[in-house]
């Protein structure tokens, strides 16, 4: 018989992160969000809790957990703020995971301990100014010159790429072109501060204002040949597999935001009075909140199922796309409805739903747009 209850270890982690989010994140995140400041103190505390090391083995400084544990933590953080959640998500699944999945033993020993501690962050350099959903249209180039790679090109919208604790970016680059015109794309680790590696000023964003996002450029950047991550020519495929896992994580963030909308509305409708009644007594409001809860519940089941297949080692690409699509839609719809329930107050940044509304849209875009998810689902059904 199927049992959707969390076991004691998972539930204990969930409650611990829930308490942390309300005690440490909620009181300060509004001011940080307004100032567009990276939450260094919160990141440090998450590192001390071991959240950045959740899915990694103890031999590299991790907690010996799994990817589902990470997703549970992300959901609880996103119930309060998605900027903090995405900083953790990108730090683990996009920064550290490529090293863990495809790096050499030496690369793992060098980089993973500080990444697991949360004292260092890594970036995931896939997207380029001229290629978002079409990430295979990579223009960044890397050529071997003796025992060094020379990298030239640029990347766009790279999370955790310009903080004071960012230590590297793993970037995809064209390392050869086949006779048939196909590109050989490889992944190369470029340490922060390498000559020719420039980080542009942070973007002015609609949402995720406490998250760090930059455009990067590489001008004759030289790094050792051993900075190749994984197999030469497999960089694009490696990153696609990382994105499959990341979509489950983004679904968890989306569910957290959707649940946060429900949480805030349940509190608000008990106190807000209009036309002589608490607005929670009006059926129109009740139905709207019921719809929000249904979306959240459905999206949570979707990412739980995708995560379960992933942990069992079964193919989960379709399920990851379904989870990401359903959950990001739920986040956007719930944020819209929550803002409507709050009325004018929902348009004020001092109320969490204002942040939720601004943060929700990117969940339908980042780590694969909704259209890309539909394309992938159709392909797995044999339609495309």
Q: Looking at the predicted structure, is the pLDDT value of residue 369 above 70?
A: yes
Q: Which pLDDT value is given to residue 4?
A: 78
CATH superfamily, domain 237-380, is Butyryl-CoA Dehydrogenase, subunit A, domain 3 (1.20.140.10)
> Tell me: the pLDDT tens digits for 177-230?
887 878 899 999 999 999 999 999 999 999 999 999 999 999 999 999 999 999
* Class in CATH terms, 8-121: mainly alpha
> Tell me: the pLDDT tens digits for 141-157?
999 999 999 999 999 99
367 is catalytic: yes
Question: Across all residues in the chain, what is the average pLDDT?
Answer: 95
- Among 132-146, 156-170, 362-376, the minimum mean pLDDT is found in 132-146
Distance separating alpha carbons of residues 212 and 115, to the nearest angstrom: 16
User: What letter would DSSP give residue 164?
Assistant: T
% of the chain at pLDDT higher than 70: 98
| 299 contact partners, CB below 8 Å, separation of at least 6 | 251, 254, 255, 258, 323, 326, 327, 329, 330, 331
Please give the structure tokens belonging to residue 355: 């942040």
Q: Which pLDDT value is given to residue 278?
A: 94
Q: What's the sign of the alpha-carbon dihedral 334, 329, 294, 317?
A: negative
Query: Between 350 and 68, whose confidence is greater?
Result: 68
Distance separating alpha carbons of residues 21 and 27, to the nearest angstrom: 9
Q: Which pLDDT value is given to residue 37?
A: 96
Q: Is 209 left (phi over 0), alpha (psi -120 to 50) or beta?
A: alpha
Choice among 37, 264, 367, 371 that is catalytic: 367
> Tell me: the pLDDT tens digits for 88-112?
999 999 999 999 999 999 999 999 9
> Tell me: the pLDDT tens digits for 312-363?
999 999 999 999 999 999 999 999 999 999 999 999 888 999 999 999 999 9
Distance separating alpha carbons of residues 192 and 187, to the nearest angstrom: 16
| 258 contact partners, CB below 8 Å, separation of at least 6 | 292, 295, 296, 299, 327, 330, 331, 334, 335
> Tell me: the pLDDT tens digits for 244-301?
999 999 999 999 999 999 999 999 999 999 899 999 999 999 999 999 999 999 999 9
Sequence spans of domains, the chain = 8-121, 123-233, 237-380
Q: Which pLDDT value is given to residue 236?
A: 87
123-233 carries CATH number 1.10.3720.10: no
Percentages helix, strand, coil for the chain, rounded to the nearest 5?
55, 15, 25
Q: Which pLDDT value is given to residue 52?
A: 98
Q: pTM here? A: 0.95
Q: Which pLDDT value is given to residue 120?
A: 98
> Tell me: the pLDDT tens digits for 296-316?
999 999 999 999 999 999 999
């Amino acid at each position: 018989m199927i049992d959707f209850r969390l076991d004691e270890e998972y539930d204990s982690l969930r409650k611990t992160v829930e308490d942390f989010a309300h005690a440490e994140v909620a009181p300060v995140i509004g001011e940080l969000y307004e100032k567009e400041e990276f939450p260094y103190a919160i990141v440090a505390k998450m590192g001390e809790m071991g959240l950045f090391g959740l899915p990694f083995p103890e031999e590299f400084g991790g907690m010996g957990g799994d990817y589902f544990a990470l997703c549970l933590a992300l959901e609880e953080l996103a119930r309060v703020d998605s900027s903090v959640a995405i900083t953790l998500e990108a730090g683990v699944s996009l920064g550290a995971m490529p090293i863990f999945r495809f790096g050499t033993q030496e690369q793992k020993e060098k980089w993973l301990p500080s990444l697991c501690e949360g004292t260092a962050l890594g970036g995931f350099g896939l997207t380029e100014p001229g290629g978002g959903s079409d990430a295979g249209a990579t223009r960044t180039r890397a050529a071997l010159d003796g025992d060094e790679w020379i990298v030239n090109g640029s990347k766009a919208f790279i999370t955790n790429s310009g903080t004071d604790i960012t230590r590297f970016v793993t970037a995809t680059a064209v390392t050869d072109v086949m006779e048939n015109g196909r590109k050989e794309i490889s992944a190369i680790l470029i340490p922060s501060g390498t000559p020719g590696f420039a980080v542009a000023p942070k973007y002015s964003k609609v949402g995720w204002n406490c998250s760090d996002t930059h455009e990067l450029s590489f001008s004759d950047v030289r790094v050792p040949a051993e900075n190749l991550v994984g197999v030469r020519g497999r960089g694009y495929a490696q990153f696609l597999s990382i994105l499959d896992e990341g979509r489950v994580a983004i679904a968890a963030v989306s569910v957290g935001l959707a649940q946060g909308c429900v949480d805030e509305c349940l509190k608000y409708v008990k106190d807000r009075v209009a036309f002589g009644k608490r607005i929670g007594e009006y059926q129109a409001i009740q139905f709207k909140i019921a719809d929000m809860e249904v979306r959240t519940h459905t999206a949570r089941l979707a990412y739980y199922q995708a995560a379960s297949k992933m942990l069992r080692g079964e193919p989960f690409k379709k399920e990851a796309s379904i989870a990401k699509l359903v959950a990001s839609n739920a986040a956007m719809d719930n944020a819209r409805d929550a803002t409507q329930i709050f009325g004018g107050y929902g348009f004020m940044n001092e109320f969490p739903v204002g942040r939720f509304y601004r943060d929700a849209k990117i969940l339908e875009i980042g780590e694969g747009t909704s259209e890309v998810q539909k394309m992938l689902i159709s392909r797995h059904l044999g339609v495309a």
